[in-house]
Structure 1
Amino acid sequence: MSLYYLDILQGTVRSCNADGSDERVIVDNIKTLPDGIQVDDRPGQGWIYWTNMGTSPDTPDGSLSRCRLDGSQHEYIVQPGATITPKQMQLDVDFGFLYWCDREGKAIFRAKLDGSDQTRLYQATVSTEPESCAWCVGVAIDKANNYIYWTQKGPSKGGLGRIFRAPLDRAAQSQDSLQAQVVFEHLPEPIDLEIDEDGKHLYWTDRGDVPFGNTLNRWSIQAQATTTALAGQAIIATKLHEGIGLALDQKSKHVYVSDLLGGLYRYDWDGGNKKVIFQDAGNLTGIAFVEPGA
């Protein structure tokens, strides 16, 4: 079992065993603020994918990269400027797609695994709210129920964050075709998302202010729910330090979380039994869990 994770300031792609041993630097000297990561370790594949936010939020030069599991064949698959500020990404190997949120682009995109056929699935808009209320950050694919979920984080610590979802045709979704439904609103600052493989629970990190921010959260999914109330939301872990990355170990029912102050943690499915894997390990963003042969 392996973890792959990113350090945004050191500009590295790293890996380690699930207990933190055998830490390795796979790619270094990334100057473009890596944020979201996914791994395809299927036989004949063996790629690490990640998003690059770009040189600064004011410069539209975001991109997507990939390399082999050993760090070789490092290449762009979405060229700088084809997306503005890409954040969390998800991999759908069944249909051969990558999904990602574009923060300043206020959008959700999908492309094939080689970066071709890039399609914008959703374009957020703002009216009287702060522009950041349209910033799309986290994304997750509910394969069991055929939904896509995403976060629009709102201003920092602002209590205006929202989680949306929309029905998803994983084979043939067309341009700007997602019909957004609000799942939660008035969240401190929701960031990354994950869904268990049975489509029973949605997990997310929130980096807003305490007591409801800097938390790990879990919600029991009801596929037809349309409520915007917080009923069903559960804060299952607290005291993160700008919580960002999120990954699930479906077999062992563990949740892995990273934060910007360099923490990497493991929790049980319900948020209990916290284990510190790393502390002060840099400035961590996205993480991915890989079960060999899964």
Structure 2
Amino acid sequence: MLSAVPPPDQPRILNMHFFMPPAVRVVELMTCGVTHAAIFPFLYAELTRLKLSPVVVKKESTGFLFNRIWAAIKRECLTVIAEGVGSPEDIDGVWTQMFGSQEGPCRIMDQVGLDTVAHIEEHYIEERGFNPSARDFVVREYVDKGKLGKKSQSGGLYPPQPENPPSTSQTLYILDLGLTNLSAPLASGRVLAGSTDGKTPLTPLSTFESLPDGITALSNRLYWTAMGPPSTNTGSIRSSTLSGGDITTILPPGAVHTPKQITADRTNSFLYVSDREGMRVLRFRPDGSDLTVLVQNGDFNDPEHKRDQTRWCVGIAVDPIHRLLYWSQKGPSKGSQGRIMRAGLDIPRVETAENRSDIETLFSGLPEPTDLELDVETETLYWCDRGELPLGNTVNCASVARGAEAEVEEGRSEMERKLGYKIILSGLHEAIGLQLDLGNGVIYASDLGGSVYRFNIDGSGKERIYEAECAFAGIALV
């Protein structure tokens, strides 16, 4: 290209490397060999003014800084696979845990296309004399067999993923806590309606809510929690039709202290809610009747109990088939004292919510677990964790079937065996809301950073479907 430019104009030419996705703000600048030195400080200042992060490569090179480092990573990953040292799943699992990234190098190579990976490696071999074994391996075992990655029906380093797009007839309901409205952060919450593909603008169904946190649907109505000002015992449960009409209060302020996630038992027509500073789990009918305390971890009138965040109940899930209740106790912020608990739907005879003996601790030492979801058929529990990386700001899953811990853990990564659960997605920003869509094989998650994501059950294919200046919390799909 440079040879086509008149020599007097060649000093005005340079190489610039932008990154994808656009959220990555880095821009690499590199000379074409004769670029005028004054261009670099000028572009550096302009790019910085535009909130980008410029990096000046010190000399002309075959490949920018990142390209060269990334090429070495790809080359070694392919070598590890070729030698049978590790699988793509092993490599990506270690990578995402170490660096907190959304995708590992093998998954990214599949997205780019293995034919493109081979072509780039061919260029480096010609220019820099590298060992061609990694290139030869990917061409022989994948490219020549039509296994080009995500764009190929034959798959690539990973098996092909079935195309199963979510039904666009479904509505995604999302809560905005309202914390970004600095003039009234405790009374600016909203109930929003959107679409599963994010192409429909979010529509407010209710506004001026007091810190809405959890949402679910039952019998063609929405039910959501309103926490109220923290520590004031003024939380409530609210409800509306699916279109936002007939808004009413099911449990008035004071009937529940600081309600967090809410879930529905559609088999028996009950609602369940975790009450954070109330340190309890509650059950009630859709009209607010038959309010029952199932778990009570402390007395919110006791200041010492109320300060102990290990007692706080946050997430909730119910299994009406096996008659089991699951909830999270998040512990102090980023404190790695979080737990996920389980008990029966019914308090044992002659016992109370305070002293029931059937409570189990399934997982402990978690960074800060929040919302739960349960695949009842497979008895797989999913949860968000808003704690610190590498284990926090994640979506996780584990089998909670009785006796599952005694089964042979074939195919599990070393990290999964060590933790006792699997991290399927990382890189969220204060992860809160979670919604399974088992029929379409996808999961939705939200975070306080203002994003709603959709991704496959195994954590692949993550895409941000909504992004706004909001603090998103609970999600429901109808």
TM over 0.5: yes
Q: 1:217 aligns with which of 365, 374, 396?
A: 396
Q: Is the 8 A contact 1:194 1:204 kept in 2?
A: yes
Q: 1:168 aligns with which of 339, 345, 353?
A: 345
Distance 1:246 1:231, change over 3 A: same
CA deviation map 1:206-234 (0-9, x unaligned): 0001111111101122224689x965301
Name the amino acid aligned to 2:435.
A
**How far is the alpha carbon of 1:248 from its aligned partner?**
0.5
CA distance in 2, matches of 1:129, 1:25: 37
Taking only aligned residues, the RMSD between alpha carbons, in angstroms, comes to: 2.4
Structure 1: runs of 5+ lacking an equivalent: none
CA deviation map 1:38-91 (0-9, x unaligned): 012xxxx4211000001x112110000001112111110000111100000101
Match of 2:443 in 1: 255
Match of 2:462 in 1: 274
Q: Is the 8 A contact 1:145 1:199 kept in 2?
A: no
CA distance in 2, matches of 1:36, 1:175: 26
Q: Percent identity?
A: 42
Q: 1:5 aligns with which of 174, 177, 189?
A: 174
Q: Is the 8 A contact 1:119 1:175 kept in 2?
A: no
Number of aligned pairs?
282
Q: Could you tell me the TM-score, scaled by structure 2's length?
A: 0.56
Q: Is the 8 A contact 2:298 2:306 kept in 1?
A: no
Indicate whether 1:46 and 2:220 are aligned. yes
Distance 1:142 1:224, change over 3 A: farther
Higher share in helix: 2
User: Does 1 or 2 have the higher relative contact order (CA < 8 Å, sep 6+)?
Assistant: 1
Indicate whether 1:20 and 2:198 are aligned. yes
Query: What does 1:98-117 correspond to in 2, within 5 Å?
Result: 98-117=271-290
Q: Is the 8 A contact 2:172 2:196 kept in 1?
A: yes
Structure 2: runs of 5+ lacking an equivalent: 1-169, 179-187, 407-416
Query: What does 1:78-93 correspond to in 2, within 5 Å?
Result: 78-93=251-266
- Residue 29 of structure 1 aligns to a residue in which SS? strand
Query: What does 1:93-172 correspond to in 2, within 5 Å?
Result: 93-125=266-298, 131-169=308-346
CA deviation map 1:224-261 (0-9, x unaligned): 4689x965301111110000000000101111000001
**How far is the alpha carbon of 1:186 from its aligned partner?**
0.5
Q: Is the 8 A contact 1:247 1:255 kept in 2?
A: yes
Distance 1:232 1:46, change over 3 A: same
- Residue 207 of structure 2 aligns to a residue in which SS? coil
- Residue 30 of structure 1 aligns to a residue in which SS? strand
Distance 1:198 1:140, change over 3 A: same
**How far is the alpha carbon of 1:32 from its aligned partner?**
1.0
- Residue 222 of structure 1 aligns to a residue in which SS? coil
Q: Which has the larger radius of gyration?
A: 2
CA deviation map 1:165-195 (0-9, x unaligned): 012249x9x9625721000000000000001
- Residue 460 of structure 2 aligns to a residue in which SS? coil
Q: Is the 8 A contact 1:20 1:277 kept in 2?
A: yes
CA distance in 2, matches of 1:213, 1:22: 30
Match of 1:235 in 2: 423
CA distance in 2, matches of 1:216, 1:283: 18
Q: Which moved more, 1:198-207 or 1:103-112?
A: 198-207
